[in-house]
Amino acid sequence: MSRTDLAMYSRAYKTIVSAPPILWVALFLLLPYALMFVHSFWAVQDGALVHHWNLDNYKKLFTNPLYAQVLFRTMRIAASVTLCSLLLGYPLAYYLSFHSGPRKELLYQLVIVPLWVSYLVRGYAWKTILGSEGVLNGFLQYLHITHEPVSFLLYSPFAVILMLTHIYTPFVFLPIYASLEHIPRPLVEASQDLGASPASTFFRVILPLSIPGLLAGATFAFLLSLGDFLAPLLVGGSSGTMIANIVQTLFGAVYDWPLGAAISVGILLITISLLFLTERLEKRWSFK
Amino acid sequence: MSSAAISQPASVDANAPLLEVRAVAKRFGSRDVLKNISLNIASGEFLTLLGESGSGKTTLLRLIAGFEQPTSGEIWMSGERLDMLPPHKRRVNTVFQNYALFPHLNVRDNVAYGLRVQGAPKNEIPARVDEALNMVKMAGFAAARPSRLSGGQQQRVALARALVNRPQLLLLDEPLSALDANLRKQMQSELKSLQREIGITFLFVTHDQEEAMALSDRIALLRDGALEQVASPREIYARPATAYTARFIGQTNLLPGEIRRSIATCGVLRWPLDEPDGPVLFSLRPEMIRLSPDGKRQTNEVKFRASVQQQVFAGASELLEVDCGAGQLLRVRLPACGPLTGEHEFVFSIADAIRVAN
C-alpha cells in the first residue's frame, strides 16, 4: 500500500468507527434538544400548537412568580441533597479507602448494591416508612415519643430531600472514592513524617487532592436532583413540587408544550453553566 | 553548598549512640521479614543499609520512621523510646524513593510543609525555606510545581523538605535509584558533601554496593532479614566475614579447601597456614593476584602457573579468567597490560586469602 492508500484507509476507518456514536448523539441528543429549543418559541391557540414565533413563553417565566418560586425551591432541595450526600458519602469513601483494611471489597459492594434496586421500589419504600400509618410513625408511637401519627414526615420537601439523598449518595460516593484511591499513599506517609497529625494530614493533603472527585460527586447529586420528578411525585406532596413536575404537567396534562420547552431550556442553561463551572474548578484542582 | 546554620542537636553523651535498634523483629503474616536486628548508629554517622530486594532493608527504615510497628524489640533515639511514638512525633525525616512531593503545592510550600504543620514561628519560615533551597541549589525553582521538575530536581526538593526540619536522623530510601547513571554519580558526591557539612546522621538504604561503598562511614549488610556484617566499607571489602558478603560486595574468588597439618589446600593451590585441621573457605579478590616477577621467591606468597582462558579489557584494568589446572578457574584483575595468551606465572600473598564463613 502506498502512503496515500494508508491515509485513505485510516480515514475510512476513523469514519466507520466514529459513525455510531456520532449518529447516536445526533439522533437522541442534538435533535431532541433542537426540537425543544424550537418549540419554546412557538405558541398554543385553542389547544393546538401553532408555529407562530414569539418570546411570550420566556416572558411568562420571568413574570409569573410561581415558576421562579418553584425553581428556587428546586435548587434549594438540590443543594440540600448535595450537601447531605456529601456529608454521608465523603466520610464513607474516606473510611473505605483508608481504614477499612481487608473488608474493603465487601463494603464497596454493599455501597453499590442499592443501585441495583429500582428507583420506584425505593420511592415506595420511603412512602411506607414515612406515611402516617408508616413504619416510622408506628415506631415513634410504640416508644411513646408521640401519641398520634406525625404528619409532616411524608409529603414535604423534607421527604424529597431524604429520598433523593438516599438515592444519590452512592453517586457521590463513587467519584470521591475513586479520587481517594488515586492518592499515592507515600504522600500520606510523607505528611506524617514531616510532623503532621492525622487530622492535619487530612486537611492539608487528602482533602485538597480529592477535590476533583468531590466536585464530580457534588455535580452528580445536584444535577440529578435538579431534574428529578419522581421523588416529589411520590413523597413530595404539593409543598414538595419541583420544577420537573411543572414541566411534566405542562407537557402531559396542560398540553402547553411551548411553555414546558421554555422552562426546559432554562433548566438546561443552568445545567450547562454548572457543568462548565465545575469542569474549570476540577481542572484547577487536578495535578498530573 | 553552605549551611552552617542547620546545626545538629547537642547530644547528651558524645559516646552514646544516636539510634539504638534492639533485637527488633518484624513479621508479616507468616513471613519473618526482619529477624532479631540489633544496630547502633552514632551521631553524625553515614550508615548504609545494603541488601538485595526483599532483604528487609526498607522495612527496617519504615520501622524507624514509624510507618510499621516492630513485632518485637525496641528502638531508642537519644535516650527515648522511639517505637511507641506515632510517626509525626518522631524527630526523624525521610527522603522517599519516589520523592513523594505534594503535587498540589509548589516547591516553596513543599519545603515549608514540615515547619508549618509543626507550628514554627511564621516569621522564621521563609528564611529557613530559602536556606534549605539554597543548600540543594533549588532556590530558582521555589514557585514551580513538582510535576514541572526533572527527577534530579525533585530529589533535591525532597532533600530540602526533609532537612529544613533539622531532624536528628535522616532516612533515605533508595533516593538515587530513579536517576540515570551520570546524575546518580553527581548526586552521590553532593549528598556526601552535604552530609559532612551539616553533620546530620544519615541512614541510607540501597541495593547498590558501589553506592554504599562510595558514601558510607559504615555499611550494614542485610541478608534475608538478618544482619550479615556491619563494618566500614574498607573493612567489609578487605575482610568479609562470610562468603555472601565477599560475593555481594565487589568480585571475588571463593576457594573451598581444607587445612591439614598446617597446610591449606584449595585445588592445586597450597600454602602453609597455622590453623586447626578441617574444611575451609577462602575469599581471594581478583586484584590481589598479580603476574609473578621473575626470579624472586618469597615465603609469604603463593605462586602458581595458569593459562589465560579469557581476557576482558576494562580501561584501567584487565579482567582475566585463568585455569590453574584440573579445571580450577580464577578471576584475576591486572593493571592494563595488553593482550595475554598462554601460560603465565601468577602470585598472591597468603594474607590476602581471607578465611570466610560459608
In A, minimum Cα distance to B160 occurs at A194
Co-location of A12 and A133 in the same domain: no
Residue A2 lies in a domain: yes
Domain that holds residue A93: 56-284
Q: What is the pLDDT of residue B3?
A: 41
Co-location of A168 and A60 in the same domain: yes
Co-location of A93 and A215 in the same domain: yes
Nearest by CB: A194 against B104, B113, B147: B113
- Give the CA diameter of chain A: 88
Q: What is the pLDDT of residue A101?
A: 86
**pLDDT > 50? residue A145:** yes
Co-location of A156 and A212 in the same domain: yes
Residue A24 lies in a domain: yes
ipTM of the complex: 0.84
Nearest by CB: B67 against A189, A285, A288: A189
Identify all chain A residues contacting B65, using CB atoms and an 8 Å cutoff. Answer: 189, 193
CATH class of this structure's domain B251-355 = mainly beta
Rounded CA-CA distance B308/B340 in Å is 7
Residues A260/A262/A265/A271 CA torsion (nearest 10 deg): -70
Co-location of A7 and A104 in the same domain: no
Rounded CA-CA distance B40/B83 in Å is 15
Co-location of A95 and A207 in the same domain: yes
Mean pLDDT over the full length of chain B: 90
> What's the average model confidence in pLDDT over A193-209?
96
Whether the Cβ atoms of residue B141 and residue B155 lie closer than 8 Å to each other: no
Residue A48 lies in a domain: no
Q: What is the pLDDT of residue B295?
A: 65
How much is the pTM? 0.84
Identify all chain A residues contacting B98, using CB atoms and an 8 Å cutoff. Answer: 184, 186
Tens of pLDDT, residue by residue over A44-96, are: 888 888 888 999 899 988 899 999 899 999 999 999 999 999 999 999 999 99
Nearest by CB: A192 against B87, B161, B165: B87
Tens of pLDDT, residue by residue over A213-240, are: 999 999 999 999 999 989 999 998 888 8
CATH number where A240 lies: 1.10.3720.10
Are B96 and A189 within 8 A, CB to CB?
A: yes
Whether the Cβ atoms of residue B47 and residue B217 lie closer than 8 Å to each other: yes
B299 to chain A, any CB pair closer than 8 A? The answer is: no
**pLDDT > 90? residue B93:** yes
Tens of pLDDT, residue by residue over B135-188, are: 999 999 999 999 999 988 999 999 999 999 999 999 999 988 878 888 888 889
Q: Domain total for chain A?
A: 2
Q: Which amino acid is at A271?
A: T
B145 to chain A, any CB pair closer than 8 A? The answer is: yes
Please determine, looking at this structure, whether the domain spanning B19-242 carries the CATH number 3.90.1150.10: no
Q: What is the pLDDT of residue B15?
A: 67
Sheet with B263-266, side-by-side order of all strands: B269-272, B263-266, B253-260, B278-284, B354-355
Co-location of A79 and A22 in the same domain: no
Identify all chain B residues contacting A209, using CB atoms and an 8 Å cutoff. Answer: 103-104
Are A190 and B96 within 8 A, CB to CB?
A: yes
Portion 141-200 of A in contact with B at CB < 8 A = 184, 186-187, 189-198, 200
**pLDDT > 70? residue B1:** no
Tens of pLDDT, residue by residue over B100-109, are: 999 999 999 9
> Confidence band (pLDDT; 50, 70, 90) for A115?
confident
Co-location of A111 and A35 in the same domain: no
Residue A46 lies in a domain: no
DSSP label at residue B311: E
Co-location of A10 and A124 in the same domain: no
Are A190 and B104 within 8 A, CB to CB?
A: no
Residue A280 lies in a domain: yes
Co-location of A195 and A274 in the same domain: yes
Note the helical H segments in chain B: 57-65, 107-117, 125-135, 151-163, 181-198, 209-215, 233-238, 243-248
**pLDDT > 60? residue B12:** no
B104 to chain A, any CB pair closer than 8 A? The answer is: yes
Are A191 and B94 within 8 A, CB to CB?
A: no
Residue A47 lies in a domain: no
Co-location of A109 and A31 in the same domain: no
- Boundaries of every domain in chain B: 19-242, 251-355
